[in-house]
Structure 1
Amino acid sequence: MAAPLENGTAAVQSVDRALTILELLAADGHLGVTEIAALLSVHKSTASRLLATLEAHGLAEQLPDRGRYRLGVGVLRLAGATRSRMDLVQESRPVTSALAAEVGETVNVVILSGRETLYLDQVSGTSALQIHNWVGKRNPIHATANGRVLLAHVSEAERDAILAALTDSGGELARLTMRTLVTREAVLADLEQIREHGYGVVRDELEVGLTAVAAPVRDSAGDVIASLSVSGPTFRIEGRLEPISAQVSRAARAVSARLGWSG
């Protein structure tokens, strides 16, 4: 019974050492295997194996002279992904703050992360009754306005793969409330409506009493990279769906324009 624990501990130690190597390369620019081994207090063969793994993932690369290593271009890829999210939050905040003040409800900026939604930013409205703080949290893609807006704008192959992965053995998606759309046909019909109208509305599907209106945010190439939504208690939102939908759509277009979209 001790082996799995030992193996797990060794794996964590290897990850820690590999991350330390990246930090060392970032600090020093380039280092040799012997130097890295000494700094890690490990055998040279261990340092070589770790560097080979990092090199295979593009996170380290070997210089032609004397076998020294430096950070690889894969680090730029990871940094770029983080930077794009930071840029999205930074560029959307003036718009979402204004929208939250205008409608008095909570405004969220959300991206697709695997088969779920990931909430990047939230601005609370002025209404006395507030809802959850969603930042950093994930929600089911099929039961949220943000999720369905994002799902409506992925490729057909990606959409089908996501829905297939979320469907249980009985052919249904997870039911979170009595109003959740649980069949593939119902979700696809709603996605068509979203593409036609330019926004999506979900009432009481994630939680009873919660309604959200969402619209797509596009990058400079016109690709949908995020969703912007207004959400709040159903009793406050349902009587204002038409104006809120227009406000959300305008805000999403404004953020898209700040990101370079000219459509």
Structure 2
Amino acid sequence: MSTNGDSTVRSVNRAVSILQVLARGAAGVTQIADELAIHKSTVFRLLATLEARGLVEQSVNRGEYFLGSGIAELAAGAVRRHDPNVLSRPICQDLADEVGETVNTSVRDGSDLISIDQVIGGSAVTTVNWVGQRTPLHASSAGKVFLAALPDDELTAILDGDLHRFTDHTVTDPGTLRMQLEQVREQGYGYTFDELEIGLGSIGAPIRSLRGDVVAAVSLSGPTFRVNPSTLPDLSDRVKAAAAAISERNGFPTPG
């Protein structure tokens, strides 16, 4: 693709991200530029174009922008589906094909994790179907992603509860879990090795909503001779990229 083509694609991506920010509520140029890490002059130029097409409008005092009536017209021509399976399945399929492992999409139900979709990679050596199964949050990579996003009062209630030990490697000490969850927040992913089952490794990352809430998680799992600390850097990058792509489809703005 030419340099001009790259610039055009980048401008389209940025314009969509601006619309996603405004979907949360009115915002000014500086606020949008700071959130998306885009220069204010670029934001102003894109807003002017979107305003000309009726997709955004300015407030009376011209200090803030909000979504315009053109957005409603576009929405009327599409049937929006919010099923996480529909949003995540193609991306999870690509991830499973890339790494050859099992990829799951999960949601939280209280102190448990429920798998709602599964894609089997070509290298998978297991026939376990995780769909519909419940797993305690503390013993799974995706579960730790959800725990890391909880308000402190909800997190404390779960950590003070019954943290079942599945193997000798299951982390059940609340203090140790809190330290792990801080790492999840910093790195953007969680992982477990031998904690739910001996020989099973897993890496999970958050799927976010328009407002940034963690509404689901994507996780990769496989035998620890393939999913282990030495392969963690590469695999975690791939899982995070998949989760980010699904989040973008779900309306979460992409910085840059």
TM range (shorter): 0.5 to 0.7
Distance 1:179 1:165 in 2: 19
Q: CA deviation at 1:165?
A: 2.5
Matched, 1:175 2:185: no
> What is the match of residue 252 of structure 1?
243
1:197-248 CA distance string (max 9 Å, x none): 0001100000000000000100111111111100000011124211100000
Matched, 1:195 2:174: no
2:177 alignment partner AA: V
RMSD: 1.5
Q: CA deviation at 1:86?
A: 5.9
Residue 205 of structure 1: SS of its match in structure 2? coil
1:29-86 CA distance string (max 9 Å, x none): xxxxxxxxxxxxxxxxxxxxxxxxxxxxxxxxxxxxxxxxxxxxxxxxxxxxxxx996
> What is the match of residue 122 of structure 1?
118
> What is the match of residue 98 of structure 1?
94
1:241 alignment partner AA: L
Residue 146 of structure 2: SS of its match in structure 1? helix
Matched, 1:234 2:224: yes
Alignment of 1:62-211 (within 5 A): 87-166=83-162, 173-211=163-201
Distance 2:157 2:226 in 1: 36
Contact between 1:148 and 1:191, CA under 8 Å: does it hold in 2? yes
1:208 alignment partner AA: I
> What is the match of residue 170 of structure 1?
none
- TM-score, normalised relative to structure 2: 0.66
Q: CA deviation at 1:130?
A: 2.4
Structure 1 residues 177 and 131: CA distance shift in structure 2, 3 A? farther
Unaligned ranges ≥5, structure 2? 1-79
Contact between 1:106 and 1:131, CA under 8 Å: does it hold in 2? no
Distance 1:129 1:85 in 2: 33
1:138-171 CA distance string (max 9 Å, x none): 01111110111111001111111112222xxxxx
- TM-score, normalised relative to structure 1: 0.64
Unaligned ranges ≥5, structure 1? 1-83, 167-172
Contact between 1:163 and 1:184, CA under 8 Å: does it hold in 2? yes
Distance 2:124 2:171 in 1: 30
- Give the helix-richer structure, 1 or 2: 1
Distance 1:198 1:128 in 2: 25
2:139 alignment partner AA: A
Residue 165 of structure 1: SS of its match in structure 2? coil
Distance 2:81 2:133 in 1: 15
Q: CA deviation at 1:188?
A: 0.5
Q: CA deviation at 1:87?
A: 1.4
1:78-114 CA distance string (max 9 Å, x none): xxxxxx9961110000100000000100000111101
Mean CA deviation greater in 123-132 or 251-260: 123-132
> What is the match of residue 9 of structure 1?
none
Residue 251 of structure 1: SS of its match in structure 2? helix
Identical-pair percentage: 45
Distance 2:161 2:252 in 1: 32
